[in-house]
Structure 1
Amino acid sequence: MIIYTPPKPAESIPLIDLGPSFSEDLAARKAVAWEIHKTARDTGFFYIANHGVPQTLMDGQLDLAREFFDLPLEEKIKVDASRSSCTRGYETPGLQTLDDGSPPDLKEGFLIGVDLDDDHPYVKDGVPNCGANQWPEQPENFRTRYEAYVDEMFRVGRHLMGLIALSLELPEDYFAQGLKEPLFNSRLLKYGPQPVDAAFNQIGAGAHTDWGMITLLLQDDVGGLEVENAAGEWISAPPIPGTFIINLGEMVRLLTNGLYHANMHRVLNNHSGRNRYSVPTFFDPNYFYEVRCAPTCMPENGKPDYPATTVGGHIAEMYRKTYGLAA
């Protein structure tokens, strides 16, 4: 007899090989989706390998972050986020507080999103957090290089959303309508070594969950990312060459009525004396896409625990909370 004991929470973050998910064989795609299903119910975090993004593009994007943050301050503040109506551009250290009640985060950033000019209907109608990006003149070809990277994040993001649909026993194209013109934000981030005079509980990025559907994180080889597992224990998410880390956001929790996790994570500024660079891309359906409990996750009483919302409305509220302003 094998006596039942509860399963132990994950002590590491799974690595999922996406290679078979590009097969024309539906069974192969569903097998990868099942791997996502298992980790989504535990950590909500996983690495992906064999995603198809060229290593040269990944390395180049981290180089772009280093080149930008190495610029003199007077050059970076030419595109300061304070000059933007939608918080796009250069973010000085301490601008954002992800862990409510803690001191401001110690990271330095640069943010872009869907690039909309003043004639776009969303901008004319005053839709929150919609507008134009600020593109710096330096480093050279900054915009071209960044947009090439974003194109690949769109490809991988759409693919992952199809796998998430399969993982919930939904049609593979369940999210397709909302992903014709996805909503996204992408950041370059720099975390310096942890300062000796940091305030109590002040780290690179305070403990938080991400706001939207999925985050595709590119990180360098320094490390510092930590993830909370299902038992409330913090585990490290060390760099693995050639991979992205994927984590699920709050809207996936809503979509699955809490079946899938949007887990806490944080970044501790390292003590190695080196800067850490990373590039998170937050990938979501379009602004007015309604997120509600999926039919395969609906409780028997037909009353899910989370109210329906729109992608844009939810994210605008999160901007307001973490930046202390109306997005």
Structure 2
Amino acid sequence: MIEYTPAKVATSIPVIDLSASLAGDAEVKSSTAWEVHKAARETGFFYISGHGVPSEVTEGILEVSRRFFDLPTEDKLDADINHSSCYRGYEPPAFQTLDTGSAADNKEGFQIGKDLGPDHPYVRRGLPNHGPNQWPGTMPELKTVMEDYLLRMHDLAHHLTGLLALSLDLPENYFAPGYAEDAISSRLLHYPSQDGVGEGNQLGAGAHTDWGLITILLQDSIGGLEVADGNGDWIQAPPVDGTFVVNLGDLVPVMTNGLYLSNMHRVLNTAGARRYSVPTFYDLDYDYVAEAVPTTLAEGESAPERITVGDHLTNMFRRTYTA
């Protein structure tokens, strides 16, 4: 087991520049991975700059998001998520409750993933959250923009997963067995402005951790994301131009024997303007078994927990959706 230095109590979120690591130099990748290691232990959150995604792509998807949510309700409901077998399409306001016991979240969304036809083996098996996307008939450009964005996020997620492996003193391709049928979804989100916390502790997104492996979040300029720091206080994660916010999900502590964090966060938009964001959730294959990697176990120690990615994500979906 590798001896790691103690993590400090973090009160801010670091920015990690990926530009050199994307160039492919092994030594630079190791240095970048060490920055990931520190952030993963201190908050489970970090910004990434130099990620290689052009600004016209990020600006384009935020613009198409604004236009989609401006559509009449009946047009958005043309792709009602309640008509999907795999949680794809339009999520009406108050569809999800991320903080159990609080009021439903004050947001609406639109979600896509890998577009899988009826003959795909996982669709034939009836696995949850695997299947076709659906699209509103009145806005064909939404499909073009979102599918391009999803492909770019898929490439970026693979790079981040490689850095995650390196940060644990594992080969960069350690998690590659989970790549063949990996899962990825991107979600357009719209948060109306609130005067403050609503009745029943209603927030834009209630306090929660993310469920899977890695989340890559694109924010607009409004702000409202808050992250729990090392003291348990809420700190702002404001928009930083040209960056994404990355955070680790609940499977990461399982896979690192508790070394890395999946941290609480929430959204409260009190800016007096509508907020738009685009989170992308990346996970390994449904059948991939998540358990502590060897470098986080003492000699002779066995992994304390084993669960497939699919079983874990299915359990979390059932807990948080109201419909």
Shorter-chain TM-score above 0.5: yes
Matched, 1:166 2:151: no
Residue identity matched to 2:303: P
Please report the TM-score for the alignment, with normalisation by the length of structure 2. 0.94
What is the distance in 2 between the residues matched to 1:89 and 1:261? 30
Change (3 A) 1:125 1:25: closer
Distance 1:167 1:196, change over 3 A: closer
CA distance in 2, matches of 1:133, 1:324: 21
SS in 2 for 1:41: helix
What secondary structure does 1:39 align onto? Answer: helix
After TM superposition, list the pairs within 5 Å mapping 1:244-323 onto structure 2. 244-270=244-270, 272-305=271-304, 307-323=305-321
Structure 2 Cα separation of the partners of residues 261 and 197 of structure 1: 27
TM-score where L is the length of structure 1: 0.93
Change (3 A) 1:291 1:140: same
CA contact (8 A) 2:211 2:313 kept: yes
Structure 1 stretches of 5 or more lacking a match? Answer: 1-5
Alignment-mate amino acid for residue 14 of structure 1: P
Deviation string, structure 1 residues 79-101 (Cα, Å, up to 9, x no partner): 11111112211101111000111
Partner of 1:136: 136
Deviation (angstroms), 1:299: 3.4
**1:197 positional shift:** 9.0
Separation in 2, partners of 1:180, 1:52: 23
Is the 2:197–2:203 Cα contact (8 Å) retained in structure 1? no
Q: Percent identity?
A: 53
Query: How far, CA to CA, are the matches of 1:38 and 1:253 in structure 2?
Result: 14
Quick check: 174-183 or 79-88, which moved more? 174-183
1:103 aligns with 2:103: yes
Q: Secondary structure at the match of 2:42?
A: coil
The alpha carbon displacement at 1:29 in A equals 0.6
1:131, distance to aligned residue in structure 2 (A):
1.6
8 A Cα contact 1:64 1:139, kept in partner: no
CA contact (8 A) 1:67 1:139 kept: no
Contact residue 219 and residue 276 of structure 2 kept, 8 A = yes
Mean Cα deviation higher: 8-17 or 57-66: 8-17
Judge which range, 68-77 or 292-301, deviates more: 292-301
Residue deviations 1:275-308, cap 9 Å, x none? 0000000011121111111000113451334x11
**2:66 corresponds to which letter in structure 1?**
R
1:85: which partner in 2? Answer: 85
CA distance in 1 between counterparts of 2:196 and 2:297 reads 49
Q: Distance in 2 between matches of 1:132 and 1:24?
A: 35
Cα offset for 1:269? 2.1
CA contact (8 A) 1:13 1:45 kept: yes
> How much does 1:10 deviate?
1.8
| Distance (whole Å) between structure 2 residues aligned to residue 19 and residue 7 of structure 1 | 25
Q: How many residues align?
A: 318
Conserved in 2, the CA contact under 8 Å of 1:215 and 1:282? Answer: yes
Q: Aligned-pair distance for 1:132? A: 1.1
1:226-277 CA-partner distances (Å, limit 9, x unpaired): 001122111100000110000000111111011000000000022x321000
Question: Structure 1 runs of 4+ off > 3 angstroms?
Answer: none
The whole-number CA distance in structure 1 between the counterparts of 2:23 and 2:252 is 25
Does the 8 A contact of 1:68 with 1:138 survive in 2?
no
**Which runs of no fewer than 5 residues in structure 2 stay unpaired?**
1-5
Deviation at 1:7, TM superposition (A): 7.5
Structure 2 equivalent of residue 187 of structure 1 = 187
Give the whole-Å Cα distance in 1 for the aligned partners of 2:54 and 2:148: 11
Which range is displaced more, 114-123 or 272-281?
A: 114-123
1:209 matched to 2:218? The reply is: no
Per-residue CA deviation, residues 168-207 of structure 1 (Å, 9 max, x unaligned), is 0000110122123320121000000115793131100000
